[in-house]
C-alpha cells in the first residue's frame, strides 16, 4: 500500500486552519520512490467533509496548521498521523516530511530581522 499525505492549503502555504481550508493537496508516494500529486478543491470549507475525504482517500498522514482537538483526536483514533501547527510553504513542509525532518510546530517562513534576511529550513 502506498503512503498518502494530505495538506490543507491556502495558495502556496499550509492553510492556517484545518476547518477553513477550501483546497487540499494530496501526494501519493509510489513504491518506485516517485510521487503523484493532485489538488482537490472542496465545495465548501468544512472540517467534517475534510475528515470524510481523508478517510475515503485512505490518507495516512495529514500536515496542517491549527486543528481543533476533536478532529485531531478523531484522525489519531483512525490511525492517521497528524503533524499540526505547521506554518509556511506547503512544498517545504512536504519535502521536510519526506526526508523525515518535519515535526509539529514547524515555522517554514522566510523572515527578515532588522534588515537582515534569515532563512529558516
Can you give the CATH number for the domain in which 78 is found?
3.30.420.130
pTM of the complete model: 0.86
Say if residue 105 is exposed, middle or buried (CB neighbours under 10 Å; 0-12, 13-18, 19+).
Answer: exposed
The confidence band for 35, taking pLDDT boundaries of 50, 70 and 90, is confident
* Average pLDDT value for the chain: 89
Sign, Cα dihedral of 81, 60, 39, 49: negative
Which pLDDT tens digit goes with each residue over 60-108? 999 999 999 999 999 999 999 999 999 999 999 999 998 999 999 999 8
Provide the number of structural domains found in the chain. Answer: 1
72's CB contacts (< 8 A; 6+ apart) are 82, 84
Domain enclosing residue 19, as ranges: 3-119
From 87, 108, 115, select the one nearest 15 (Cα to Cα).
87
pLDDT tens-digit series, residues 50-61? 999 999 999 999
Question: In a 3-state reduction of DSSP, which class is residue 95?
Answer: helix
Share of the chain above pLDDT 70, in %: 87
Amino acid at each position: 500500500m502506498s503512503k498518502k499525505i494530505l495538506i490543507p492549503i491556502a495558495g502556496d502555504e499550509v492553510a492556517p486552519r484545518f476547518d477553513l481550508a477550501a483546497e487540499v493537496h494530496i501526494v501519493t508516494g509510489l513504491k518506485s520512490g516517485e510521487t503523484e500529486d493532485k489538488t482537490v478543491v472542496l465545495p465548501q470549507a468544512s472540517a467534517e467533509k475534510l475528515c470524510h475525504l481523508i478517510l475515503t482517500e485512505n490518507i495516512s498522514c495529514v500536515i496542517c496548521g491549527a486543528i481543533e482537538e476533536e478532529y485531531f483526536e478523531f484522525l489519531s483514533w483512525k490511525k492517521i498521523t497528524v503533524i499540526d501547527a505547521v506554518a509556511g510553504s506547503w512544498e517545504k513542509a512536504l519535502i521536510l516530511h519526506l526526508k523525515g525532518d518535519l515535526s509539529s510546530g514547524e515555522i517554514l517562513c522566510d523572515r527578515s530581522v532588522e534588515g537582515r534576511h534569515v532563512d529558516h529550513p
